[in-house]
Structure 1
Amino acid sequence: VWRVFKPQPSSEGKLPMVASAHGGTAVFQLDPGSYLVHASYGRAGATKRITVGKDARHESLVLDAGGLKLDAVTSGGAPIQSKKLRFSIYEDHPAANGDRALIAPDVAPNTVVRLNAGTYHVVSTYGAVNAVIRSDIRVEAGKLTEATVEHRAAEMTMKLVREPGGEAIADTSWSLLNESGDPIKEAVGAFASMVLAEGQYTIIAKNRDRIYQKDFTVVAGQNQEIEVVANESSAIDPEEGAD
């Protein structure tokens, strides 16, 4: 995408755009004078100042740009459903406040993102809880960089049953705690399905006025169904710990 600006800002402080075009080659009819020409290719870009006289002239802009295509797998190399996977691309160096500038949010897997050559900080999110992988990836000019990250996580489905192997009990409220006892996810329904990073967890199920819990372990790459049996051994006194 080509954009041609006058170099003198307007009263609003913006550069007036006098022409634009799409395509690898563009022809502009411009009055004699000085201009700024900007060429963008995806999120890569370059700017050049030119001076136009009475005679036709030819200008070339060199984009120091490449492509980045991202994907992810689980431990063991199993593919991940595209709808459960997203990437965000940030600048490599954080600002003074520690935050990194976001360049491309919500990038679907196997999408080619055009970027200026350089190193970028890529965040891969699998599911919507805590399966997050961060990587620094270098993009080289004139090349397509393909990168695949590995998520050490698994898909878990919880259900409250009256006996092992029984039907899931409807109208159940779920609360997931991490190893430190901090709540990290809540859900409502007969089933609670989520992607979790490997580690130790506790799931708490509430049905009517009864509360049950179960500790479980997530092993990377091993999807599981967790049954919480509604019996006295898993029950919690709802008044326990109350002031």
Structure 2
Amino acid sequence: MLEEGSTPFAAAAKRLARNVVCATMMVFPVAISTSASVSAQTAEAPMPPRVKPDPNAPSAAGSDQIINLLDREPEPLFSDVEMPYTAPSRSLTTGLSDGLDQGALYLMAKLTRDSKPLDDGLIWRIYSEATNANGRLELIATSMGGDAEFRLDPGAYLVHTAYGYAQSTNRVVIGKDVQSKMLTLNAGGIKFGAAMKDGNGIDETQVTFDVYGMTFDERGERNKIVGDITPGSIVRLNADTYHVVSRYGDVNAVVRADIQVLPGKLTEATILHKAADITLKLVNERGGEAIANTTWSVLSAGGHVVVEATGAFPDFVLAEGEYEALARNNGKTYLHNFEVAPGQDREVEVVTAVSELETQETSNSN
């Protein structure tokens, strides 16, 4: 879990987060809960990448001087450590049998160079380095929790480690001896929140977040890391900068922000929306009953269709701005201009009475 007061470093966080007017960020060295379910993340074991770091790379030498967060040199992610005095708290190796001709691999992981080893929330997967007949890497063994111990036949393997959505893959060569490895994840987390720009309350049940990488593929699209995150959720990620998209409702209330994750830290990101919940009604007179079987179109100030619906009480969350409502009923079309102000949820009535329509036209012409 994230340690309070730990000294962070960021090998991957080479870009400072760009503050935008729609998001506020606060970084606190507080603990991330490890009780969240990981079933959605573990439904299908991910394929490890082709890049294989050198398992024999020496650990970086320690230093007592104060080093700038972005200038500090990273230590190797996968390094040898002395065998602990006590055996692992549990051995969760699956599908393997003990044998005198096998080697032992003991694995531990921590968030940063200076933090303590994690005791929960880790998922270890051991893959064969060679592909099978289907061209895929074979999953040899798995373990969940904190530290892990595996008994493996001599050979080369790929070790995939996941802590939430923070992941790392490393290569290890096993003989008939005992090896102990420490993985430094360089990971942190984001806690998501949402609020209205003017301070009014927001219906958090209609707010979701999606997290994307910063780079684009050949089609000009970002890689989606995780989606449909609800306010208050904590997502563990590798230390880096991420593009976060927050949606309020299902129409056009969308806010984007670039947010930086620091190793060993929890970033609290509150996305500020400027929108309101609007209910449309077609009535014969002001305050009258809504007319059923009405078809609706909401147009932007530029005349583009924003959303369409059918019913007596269509309800939308719309971004701040000016709109025109078109109501069609019994072969007739009725128009009404309205404005959306942040946080001001309300009903918008479209009146069929001729006197009301003439009043609207006179008001619009002035």
| Same fold, judged at TM 0.5 (above) | yes
Which amino acid in the other structure matches residue 231 of structure 1?
A: A
Per-residue deviation, residues 106-127 of structure 1 (Å, max 9, x unmatched): 1122111111110000111101
Moved more, 157-166 or 46-55: 46-55
- For 2:203, the equivalent position in structure 1 comes to 81
CA distance in structure 2 between the partners assigned to 1:127 and 1:229 by the alignment: 26
Which amino acid in the other structure matches residue 188 of structure 1?
A: T
Q: What's the offset of the Cα at 1:180? A: 1.0
Which amino acid in the other structure matches residue 99 of structure 1?
A: E
- For 1:220, the equivalent position in structure 2 comes to 342
Q: Is the 8 A contact 1:156 1:194 kept in 2?
A: yes
CA distance in structure 1 between the partners assigned to 2:128 and 2:312 by the alignment: 63
- For 2:256, the equivalent position in structure 1 comes to 134
Which amino acid in the other structure matches residue 286 of structure 2?
A: P
Moved more, 163-172 or 128-137: 163-172
CA distance in structure 1 between the partners assigned to 2:128 and 2:216 by the alignment: 33
- For 2:53, the equivalent position in structure 1 comes to none
Q: What's the offset of the Cα at 1:11? A: 3.1
Q: Is the 8 A contact 1:200 1:216 kept in 2?
A: yes
Q: Is the 8 A contact 1:175 1:204 kept in 2?
A: yes
- For 2:212, the equivalent position in structure 1 comes to 90
1:65-214 correspondence runs (5 A): 65-214=187-336
Q: Is the 8 A contact 1:48 1:61 kept in 2?
A: no
Please, what TM-score do these two structures have when normalized by structure 1?
A: 0.91
Q: What's the offset of the Cα at 1:140? A: 0.8
1:12-27 correspondence runs (5 A): 12-27=134-149
1:19-38 correspondence runs (5 A): 19-38=141-160
* RMSD after superposition: 1.5
Q: Is the 8 A contact 1:200 1:218 kept in 2?
A: yes
Q: Is the 8 A contact 1:46 1:62 kept in 2?
A: no
Moved more, 10-19 or 194-203: 10-19
Between the two proteins, what is the percent identity of the paired residues? 47
Question: Residue 8 of structure 1: SS of its match in structure 2?
Answer: strand
Moved more, 90-99 or 174-183: 90-99
Moved more, 75-84 or 103-112: 75-84
Which amino acid in the other structure matches residue 173 of structure 1?
A: T
Per-residue deviation, residues 200-227 of structure 1 (Å, max 9, x unmatched): 1000111212221100111122112111
Q: Is the 8 A contact 2:125 2:143 kept in 1?
A: yes
- For 1:238, the equivalent position in structure 2 comes to none
Please, what TM-score do these two structures have when normalized by structure 2?
A: 0.62
**Which structure is richer in relative contact order (CA contacts within 8 A, separation 6 or more)?**
2
CA distance in structure 1 between the partners assigned to 2:137 and 2:331 by the alignment: 65
- For 1:49, the equivalent position in structure 2 comes to 171
Q: What's the offset of the Cα at 1:51? A: 2.1
Question: Residue 150 of structure 2: SS of its match in structure 1?
Answer: coil
Which amino acid in the other structure matches residue 234 of structure 1?
A: L
Question: Residue 83 of structure 1: SS of its match in structure 2?
Answer: helix
Q: What's the offset of the Cα at 1:105? A: 1.6
CA distance in structure 1 between the partners assigned to 2:175 and 2:161 by the alignment: 21
CA distance in structure 1 between the partners assigned to 2:181 and 2:200 by the alignment: 49
Moved more, 102-111 or 7-16: 7-16
Which amino acid in the other structure matches residue 194 of structure 2?
A: A
Question: Residue 182 of structure 2: SS of its match in structure 1?
Answer: coil
Unaligned runs of 5+ in 2: 1-122, 359-366
Per-residue deviation, residues 74-127 of structure 1 (Å, max 9, x unmatched): 122233223211111111122343211111121122111111110000111101
CA distance in structure 1 between the partners assigned to 2:247 and 2:147 by the alignment: 38
Q: What's the offset of the Cα at 1:43? A: 1.2
Which protein is richer in strand relative to its size? 1
- For 2:357, the equivalent position in structure 1 comes to 234
Q: Is the 8 A contact 2:202 2:343 kept in 1?
A: no
CA distance in structure 2 between the partners assigned to 1:79 and 1:226 by the alignment: 20
